[in-house]
Amino acid sequence: MPAILGQNQYGKAENRVVRIVRDGDTHHIKDLNVSIALSGAMDEVHYHGSNTGVLPTDTTKNTVYAFAKEHGIASAEQFGIHLARHFVTSQDTIHRARIRIEEYAWERIPLPGADARPDRATETGHSFVRTRQETRLAQITYDGDRWQIVSGLTDLTVLNSTNSEFRGYVKDAYTTLKEAYDRILATDVSARWRHNWTSDEQGMPDWEQSYARTKQHLLEAFAETYSLSLQQTLYQMGSRVIDSRSEIDEIRFSLPNKHHFLVDLEPFGQKNDNEVYLAADRPYGLIEATVLRDGTEAAIPVDLTNL
């Protein structure tokens, strides 16, 4: 049986672009890592090496930097929409564009006395420090007709020092874990959420506000849930987002259980009353699930979890 070409795409991955907006002495920074994947009528280049329908990947790289100047970067999602629309509508052989973006956060460096001395406050306008919080994510897919916008975050580390239990689980011949009635619950949140904006005819969400509010709902649900399992906490986080954000229909989680084990201090004649823990980095439990708006179907690609 002869071989045939299957699904394929090409593009330029990990284009790092930093955009500075200078508002007098106050500067604003956007720091993105942009990966482009294009697909369409690409049989000839695969079968015969004909490049007549191929837009060079170097051109896609150049487009990222040109668009950062031409359109600015209002948000990761909006920037990806500009790029995806351009590639699909400007080239006959490109039928689908997928733009994946990581955004790295920066905060202004505060100076001593800046609050008390307004004349010095502008000195922090151009000095930044990379935050150690989450990395923001976005994937924009466009086929010339319909959009799929998936936003998300990764490496958002959270911890509850109490209000967490784990007991009543199945026990077999290999079970050694003791039931916990007061434990630390910690995880690195990786989450992706799908917006129900799919057409230019719909009102476009405010991407920056949507991201900030969604992150806040995730944090509040984690903090406010008395957890009997990490699965329960995951569901509470997801349902809080679905219930609170009408523009989101689906959210997918990958939550590693960052185990904290009580250290046995009895050999030293000391009692450990939930005070001293060993933070174990591996192995770890990995809890994954999708929370959907009722009446919708899952559509976030599974491979997004590994972005």
135 and 157 share one domain: no
Question: What CATH number does residue 231 fall under?
Answer: 3.10.270.10
Contact 193, 251 (CB under 8 A): yes
> Domain range for residue 159?
153-307
Is 160:186 a contact under the CB 8 Å cutoff? yes
| Span 123-136, pLDDT tens digits | 467 898 998 789 99
Residue 74 lies in a domain: yes
* 293 and 167 together in one domain: yes
DSSP annotation of 161: S
Mean pLDDT within 118-127: 62
The string of DSSP letters for 225-286 reads: --BS-HHHHHHHHHHHHHHH-TTEEEEEEEEEE--EEE---GGGT---SS--EEE--SS-EE
Q: Is residue 1 part of a domain?
A: no
Residue 231 annotated as binding site: yes
Q: Name which of 148, 186, 150 is nearest 166 in CA terms.
A: 186
Sign of torsion over alpha carbons 142, 79, 12, 138: negative
Same domain assignment for residues 21 and 126 = yes
Environment class of residue 174 by beta-carbon count within 10 Å: exposed (0-12), middle (13-18) or buried (19+)?
A: exposed
The per-residue pLDDT for range 81-92, each reduced to its tens digit, is 999 999 999 999
**Does 140 lie in the same domain as 91?**
yes
Tell me, yes or no, whether 141 and 185 share the same domain. Answer: no
CB 220 within 8 A of CB 239: no
Cis peptide before 283 (omega within 30 of 0): yes
Percent of the chain with pLDDT over 90: 89
- Give a yes or no: residue 170 inside a domain: yes
Specify the pLDDT at position 133.
85
State the pLDDT at residue 132. Answer: 77
**Predicted pLDDT at 56:** 98
Residue 215: how many other CB atoms lie within 10 Å: 19
Per residue in 259-272, pLDDT (tens digit) is 999 999 999 999 99
Nearest alpha carbon to residue 63 among 41, 40, 82, 91: 82
Question: Is the four-CA dihedral 212, 80, 78, 61 of positive or negative sign?
Answer: positive
Average pLDDT, the chain: 94
Q: Is 183 annotated as a binding residue?
A: yes
Global pTM reads 0.92
- pLDDT at residue 122, as a whole number: 44
Same-domain status, 159 and 274: yes
131 and 173 belong to one structural domain: no
Do 139 and 256 lie in one domain? The reply is: no
Residues involved in catalysis: 12, 57, 259
How large is the average pLDDT for residues 170-183? 96
At which of 145, 163, 197 does a domain end? 145
Identify the domain boundary among 92, 123, 145.
145
Q: Is residue 3 part of a domain?
A: no
> Tokens for 239?
């349902």
- Binding residue per annotation — 23? no
> What pLDDT sits at residue 111?
82
- Does residue 188 form part of some domain? yes
Task: Identify the pLDDT of residue 276.
Answer: 97
Q: What is the mean pLDDT of residues 275-280?
A: 97
Verify that 81 and 192 share a domain, yes or no.
no
- Determine if residue 58 is labeled as part of a ligand binding site: yes
SS3 of 75, please?
coil
- Residue 114 CA to residue 207 CA, distance in Å, equals 31
